[in-house]
Protein backbone atom coordinates (compact mmCIF):
# COMPACT_ATOMS: atom_id res chain seq x y z
CA UNK A 1 0.00 0.00 0.00
CA UNK A 2 1.50 3.38 -0.98
CA UNK A 3 2.21 5.91 1.75
CA UNK A 4 -0.40 8.70 1.75
CA UNK A 5 0.86 12.23 1.21
CA UNK A 6 0.67 14.04 4.54
CA UNK A 7 2.33 16.77 6.59
CA UNK A 8 2.09 17.67 10.27
CA UNK A 9 2.61 21.23 11.53
CA UNK A 10 2.01 23.26 14.69
CA UNK A 11 0.42 26.65 15.16
CA UNK A 12 0.93 28.43 18.47
CA UNK A 13 -0.41 31.52 20.23
CA UNK A 14 0.42 32.23 23.88
CA UNK A 15 -0.14 28.82 25.57
CA UNK A 16 -2.54 27.45 22.94
CA UNK A 17 -1.12 24.83 20.58
CA UNK A 18 -2.87 23.57 17.43
CA UNK A 19 -1.45 20.50 15.69
CA UNK A 20 -2.59 20.26 12.04
CA UNK A 21 -2.36 17.04 10.04
CA UNK A 22 -2.89 17.69 6.31
CA UNK A 23 -3.34 14.85 3.82
CA UNK A 24 -4.86 14.18 0.42
CA UNK A 25 -8.64 14.21 0.61
CA UNK A 26 -11.74 16.07 -0.45
CA UNK A 27 -11.53 19.45 1.27
CA UNK A 28 -12.56 18.72 4.85
CA UNK A 29 -11.22 20.86 7.69
CA UNK A 30 -11.97 19.52 11.17
CA UNK A 31 -11.07 20.96 14.56
CA UNK A 32 -11.07 18.46 17.44
CA UNK A 33 -13.33 16.20 15.35
CA UNK A 34 -15.90 18.94 14.60
CA UNK A 35 -16.25 20.75 11.24
CA UNK A 36 -14.57 24.17 11.22
CA UNK A 37 -18.00 25.75 10.60
CA UNK A 38 -18.96 24.92 14.23
CA UNK A 39 -16.15 26.89 15.88
CA UNK A 40 -17.23 28.93 18.90
CA UNK A 41 -17.32 31.89 19.56
CA UNK A 42 -19.15 32.81 16.37
CA UNK A 43 -17.60 36.30 16.15
CA UNK A 44 -14.11 34.76 15.77
CA UNK A 45 -15.15 32.08 13.28
CA UNK A 46 -14.04 34.21 10.32
CA UNK A 47 -10.57 34.52 11.87
CA UNK A 48 -10.18 30.74 11.64
CA UNK A 49 -11.43 30.81 8.01
CA UNK A 50 -8.95 33.53 6.95
CA UNK A 51 -6.30 31.29 5.31
CA UNK A 52 -9.03 29.56 3.24
CA UNK A 53 -10.64 32.88 2.26
CA UNK A 54 -7.30 34.49 1.32
CA UNK A 55 -5.96 31.61 -0.79
CA UNK A 56 -9.30 30.50 -2.22
CA UNK A 57 -11.31 27.32 -1.73
CA UNK A 58 -9.75 25.66 -4.80
CA UNK A 59 -6.34 25.34 -3.06
CA UNK A 60 -7.99 23.32 -0.27
CA UNK A 61 -10.21 21.20 -2.57
CA UNK A 62 -7.97 18.11 -2.52
CA UNK A 63 -6.73 18.49 1.08
CA UNK A 64 -8.13 17.17 4.36
CA UNK A 65 -6.88 19.02 7.44
CA UNK A 66 -7.43 17.59 10.92
CA UNK A 67 -6.55 19.92 13.80
CA UNK A 68 -6.12 19.10 17.48
CA UNK A 69 -6.01 22.16 19.71
CA UNK A 70 -5.43 22.49 23.44
CA UNK A 71 -4.26 25.02 26.02
CA UNK A 72 -4.90 28.75 26.22
CA UNK A 73 -8.24 30.52 25.95
CA UNK A 74 -10.82 30.70 23.17
CA UNK A 75 -9.19 33.55 21.26
CA UNK A 76 -5.66 32.15 21.51
CA UNK A 77 -6.92 28.76 20.30
CA UNK A 78 -8.55 30.32 17.23
CA UNK A 79 -5.35 32.22 16.39
CA UNK A 80 -3.40 28.95 16.81
CA UNK A 81 -5.87 27.18 14.47
CA UNK A 82 -5.54 29.82 11.72
CA UNK A 83 -1.77 29.66 11.99
CA UNK A 84 -1.80 25.85 11.79
CA UNK A 85 -4.05 25.88 8.69
CA UNK A 86 -1.82 28.41 6.90
CA UNK A 87 1.40 26.58 7.81
CA UNK A 88 -0.04 23.19 6.81
CA UNK A 89 -0.98 24.23 3.27
CA UNK A 90 2.41 25.88 2.73
CA UNK A 91 4.21 22.76 4.04
CA UNK A 92 2.04 20.47 1.89
CA UNK A 93 2.74 22.48 -1.26
CA UNK A 94 6.47 22.58 -0.43
CA UNK A 95 6.62 18.81 0.01
CA UNK A 96 4.26 17.46 -2.65
CA UNK A 97 3.41 20.15 -5.23
CA UNK A 98 6.22 22.51 -6.27
CA UNK A 99 8.45 25.27 -4.92
CA UNK A 100 7.04 28.11 -7.05
CA UNK A 101 3.44 27.38 -5.94
CA UNK A 102 4.63 27.29 -2.32
CA UNK A 103 6.42 30.64 -2.68
CA UNK A 104 3.29 32.16 -4.21
CA UNK A 105 1.11 30.94 -1.30
CA UNK A 106 3.67 32.10 1.23
CA UNK A 107 3.91 35.57 -0.31
CA UNK A 108 0.11 35.93 -0.37
CA UNK A 109 -0.20 34.94 3.30
CA UNK A 110 2.72 37.13 4.40
CA UNK A 111 1.26 40.14 2.58
CA UNK A 112 -2.04 39.66 4.46
CA UNK A 113 -0.74 38.90 7.97
CA UNK A 114 2.75 37.82 8.99
CA UNK A 115 1.42 36.06 12.11
CA UNK A 116 -0.23 33.42 9.92
CA UNK A 117 3.20 31.89 9.26
CA UNK A 118 5.47 33.37 11.94
CA UNK A 119 4.61 32.72 15.59
CA UNK A 120 4.05 35.67 17.93
CA UNK A 121 6.78 35.43 20.61
CA UNK A 122 4.92 37.42 23.29
CA UNK A 123 4.16 35.51 26.48
CA UNK A 124 2.65 36.35 29.84
CA UNK A 125 5.08 38.09 32.19
CA UNK A 126 5.39 36.35 35.58
CA UNK A 127 4.02 38.00 38.71
CA UNK A 128 6.56 39.41 41.19
CA UNK A 129 6.38 40.00 44.92
CA UNK A 130 5.39 43.42 46.27
CA UNK A 131 2.37 43.85 44.04
CA UNK A 132 -0.76 42.35 42.45
CA UNK A 133 0.81 41.53 39.10
CA UNK A 134 3.89 41.68 36.92
CA UNK A 135 4.27 45.48 37.00
CA UNK A 136 1.62 46.87 39.39
CA UNK A 137 2.87 47.57 42.92
CA UNK A 138 0.98 47.87 46.18
CA UNK A 139 0.44 51.49 47.25
CA UNK A 140 2.78 52.96 49.82
CA UNK A 141 1.75 55.27 52.64
CA UNK A 142 4.17 56.94 55.05
CA UNK A 143 1.81 57.19 58.04
pLDDT digits (tens, 9 = 90+) for 106-137: 999 999 999 999 999 999 999 999 999 999 99
pLDDT digits (tens, 9 = 90+) for 23-82: 999 989 999 999 999 998 899 999 999 999 999 999 899 899 999 999 999 999 999 999
pTM above 0.85, yes or no: yes
Strands 29-31 and 6-13: unpaired
Judge contact between 76 and 14, C-beta under 8 A.
yes
Q: What is the DSSP letter of 41?
A: S
Amino acid sequence: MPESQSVQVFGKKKTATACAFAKQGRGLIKVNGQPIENIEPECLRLKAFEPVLILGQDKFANLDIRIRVKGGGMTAQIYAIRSAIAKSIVAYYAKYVDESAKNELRATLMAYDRNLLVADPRRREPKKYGGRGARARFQKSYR
